[in-house]
Amino acid sequence: MAIRLVTVALVFLAVIISHAFPWLKTPVIFSLCNGLAVLGVIVLIRAGQVSFGHAMYSCAAGYAVVFSARAYNLDGVLLILIATSVATLFSALLGLFIVRYRGIFFGMLNLAFSMVLYSIISKFTTVTGGTDGLSFARPQLAGFVLERDVFETVLLYAALAAALICGFLAQRYFESAPGQALAAIKTNETRLEYLGISAKHVFWTGYLFSGFLAGLGGSLFALAQGLVTPEMGYWVRSGEFVFIAILGGAGHAIGAYLGAFIFEFVRFYAAALLTGAWQLTLGSVLLLIIFMAPEGLVGILARRRKPMRKKIM
């Protein structure tokens, strides 16, 4: 019940804040985009694995958006579909190799591949724009040419719809048989194999879903920003995704969005008020969460649900 209330509250806050304070519309969109990518990281955490390079799929989707927009002047909806498909295919191919490994080897392999992608994008200046990145003109959305303010509003609702649908699907996946098999990789992978279930296949499916979520978030982020740079795939960006996952908690899909909103707005205001020490503020918030709620903000909500159930019983 508490988690549902928080979900409804986040939706209303996202809509009300963006309309009451138009200058906060972009941070809200970025929060939703980051939340989608973080949800992908949470899928892997459910299997007991942490990716330190998952931003590469958001980056791949972002560059797919900018290349397609500049070359073919496609509609925004098509750009999202193409970019998400590119990121999903990329994760499917890399996943065939990466899912063989566990623990620190899994995390470092993801980091290594992400840094290879970052280096390639940074060096091929004539194609990718190098460290300056590439910008593109605001595309049509569903065939309509929109002014910037209207474009951002439509994109906000599109990102919100994507976040809700993906959050629902992810939670259903966690509670399904394949999702339980994914969680079994964390607890007892050997027993899973004894049951005749391929742990590699289960993990590859989860990794594929994870890449899809990161790609969807990256494509929406690129459309909102109108600019794509190699920083989208840098290890710091991947670290932020892990940071947000810890902050929100991996116990429920809503944790990705809850953590993303808090992260984005703490960074937004800390950077404005404490220009030289906003990282210190973020670090302090994370330390407080780790000490007070090791399972993240979702863990606090889960603890509140248990006493309520006991009272009802």
Pairwise CA distance, residues 86 & 82, whole Å: 6
pLDDT reported for residue 310: 44
The contacts of residue 221 (CB under 8 Å, 6+ apart) are 29, 30, 33, 34, 58, 62, 232
Strands (E), 18-174: 134-135
Pairwise CA distance, residues 283 & 67, whole Å: 36
Cross-strand pairs, 134: 228
pLDDT reported for residue 227: 93
Pairwise CA distance, residues 160 & 155, whole Å: 8
pLDDT reported for residue 3: 64
pLDDT reported for residue 248: 87
Q: What is the full DSSP assignment across 179-232?
A: HHHHHHHHHHHHHHHHTT--HHHHHHHHHHHHHHHHHHHHHHHHHHHSEE-GGG
pLDDT reported for residue 311: 44
Pairwise CA distance, residues 134 & 143, whole Å: 24
pLDDT reported for residue 309: 46
pLDDT reported for residue 282: 77
DSSP state of 251: S
Q: Please report, in tens digits, the pLDDT of each residue of the chain (313 residues total).
A: 556 666 776 777 777 776 777 788 888 899 999 999 999 999 999 999 999 999 999 999 999 999 999 999 899 999 999 999 999 999 999 999 999 999 899 999 999 999 999 999 999 888 998 888 999 988 988 888 888 888 988 899 899 999 999 999 999 999 999 999 999 998 888 888 888 889 999 999 999 999 999 999 999 999 999 999 999 999 999 999 998 998 888 888 888 998 898 888 888 777 677 767 777 877 787 788 778 877 888 877 766 655 544 444 4
Q: Look up the CATH number of the domain holding residue 142.
A: 1.10.3470
Which of 106, 111, 108 has the alpha carbon at shortest distance from 47?
106
- How far is the CA of 114 from the CAs of 10, 20, 60, 94, 277, in angstroms? 31, 38, 10, 11, 28
- How far is the CA of 13 from the CAs of 16, 20, 34, 35, 309, in angstroms? 5, 10, 17, 15, 28
Pairwise CA distance, residues 258 & 254, whole Å: 6
The tokens for 225 are 């920003």
Cross-strand pairs, 144: 141
Q: Which residue has the tokens 């999702």?
A: 179
pLDDT reported for residue 1: 53
Pairwise CA distance, residues 73 & 66, whole Å: 10
The contacts of residue 3 (CB under 8 Å, 6+ apart) are 252, 254, 298, 301, 302, 305
Please check whether residue 84 is in contact with residue 215, taking contact to mean a CB–CB distance below 8 angstroms.
yes
Please check whether residue 63 is in contact with residue 190, taking contact to mean a CB–CB distance below 8 angstroms.
no
- The total of structural domains in the chain comes to 1
Domain span including residue 74: 2-312
pLDDT reported for residue 304: 60
* Crossing angle between the packed helical segments 199-225 and 55-72, to the nearest 10 degrees: 50
